[in-house]
Amino acid sequence: VFGGEYFIANGLLKFPGKVTSVDGCPADVLDSLPFNASARVQTYVGVGSPVVADASVPLIFQISYWYYITLGTLVVLLVGLPVSYLTEPVDMKHLEPALFAPFVRQFLPQKQNFPVNPPAEEYN
């Protein structure tokens, strides 16, 4: 976010407005609108305008923020899943149920309670 704002502030990343016009629209349609359509269209900058970026701006700052979710999901799948597969799984009986959301707790196995004071014969 801060990198994108930096490049916008320095004029290296721009989001120009769309070209719009009401030329060719029937006059009766424009006259029937309860607002001045010509004025609104001329000041509309548009949604999804193309990005104009200098070659020095990294590609990550040139993509739309709508793609951040897709990119984040892809990173989780490409990094998280292999790491999870390669590491040793946690014994679910030793997890603290209070650390999970209430609706997840029903899926956890019963917590295994360990004695606080071990029997004295273990010290001999």
CA dist 106 to 28, 90, 100, Å? Answer: 64, 18, 10
Q: Pick the residue with more confidence: 95 or 87?
A: 87
Please provide the average confidence, as pLDDT, over all residues in the chain. Answer: 75
pLDDT at 83: 93
Q: What is the Cα–Cα distance from 55 to 68, expressed in whole angstroms?
A: 21
One-character DSSP codes across 5-45: HHHHHTTSEE-PPPP---TTS-HHHHHHSSS-HHHHHHH--
Mean pLDDT of 22-47: 59
Quick check: 20 pLDDT over 80?
A: no
pTM: 0.41
16 or 79, which is more confident: 79
